[in-house]
Amino acid sequence: MKTLSLIAQKGGTGKTTLGIHLAVQALRDGRSVLLIDTDPQGSAGAWWQRRQAEVPALVQGQGTELPGMQAEARARGFDLVIVDTAPHSSEQSRACAECSDAVLIPTRPAILDLDAIGITTALVAGLSVPAEIVLNACPPPLLGHETRIVAEAREALGAYPVSVCPVAVSQRAAFSHALIDGHAVVEFEAHGKAAAEIDALWRAVKPRLGL
Ligand SMILES: Nc1ncnc2c1ncn2[C@@H]1O[C@H](COP(=O)(O)OP(=O)(O)O)[C@@H](O)[C@H]1O
Ligand SMILES: [Mg+2]
């Protein structure tokens, strides 16, 4: 069983959005997935309540309780656990990162988000778990090319000791629309651009998890 945690000390960077979407994408890839919502705000849990489908499974708990929840997940036969985390709690984020096989750090490409990322990269720097930054809510590519904002964000992120995922996720209305009634973009618009980006992100994340 593998565990992927999404952490970022800043709120609104896309931890929940990407965690949910990677969970649904992994399901479509044949994995048996448990989503663990460790954010007291419970956004992933609220999405799951709105969802008709029984998968992915979801449990809620504290980040510091993750080892126990992982043991239970293993016993229940899950082969992938995706952990959504709260912002502003380095203790909880570290607890999740420490028990993970890989960590994703979503950030928006805006300067205030980039300024804040050092707190999160410092948090994972001392751990042996592989971590990667993923740019989220980016201006969509123009004629197949990343926009200047995204290229400049990649350059700025070069100053941190954590690599940046080659796949960037764009700001697309489909992400917000899909979540309203408990769906993911691939279930809302199967052949849309948002679904294609999540597919690419999952394919980039898999080898990080050793899958
Ligand atoms: N790629 C995206 N495109 C459009 N909206 C997005 C995208 N990523 C996140 N959002 C929106 O931004 C807000 C914050 O995202 P969320 O996943 O809740 O962040 P976090 O969990 O890090 O606080 C939500 O309203 C979400 O729908
Ligand atoms: Mg969240």
Number of alpha carbons in the 13 Å side-chain half-sphere of residue 96: 31
**Which domains does the chain possess?**
2-206 (3.40.50.300)
Q: Tens digits of per-residue pLDDT, 126-163?
A: 899 999 999 999 999 999 999 999 999 999 999 999 99
- Report the candidate in 80, 88, 107 with the shortest Cα–Cα distance to residue 22: 80
DSSP string, 28-65: HTT--EEEEE--TT-HHHHHHHH--S--SEEEE--GGG
Q: Which atom of ligand 1 is nearest to the CA of 173?
A: 4
C-beta of 89 in contact with ligand 1 (< 6 A):
no
Ligand 1 pocket, 192 CB below 6 A? no
The per-residue pLDDT for range 39-84, each reduced to its tens digit, is: 999 999 999 999 999 999 999 999 999 999 999 999 999 999 999 9
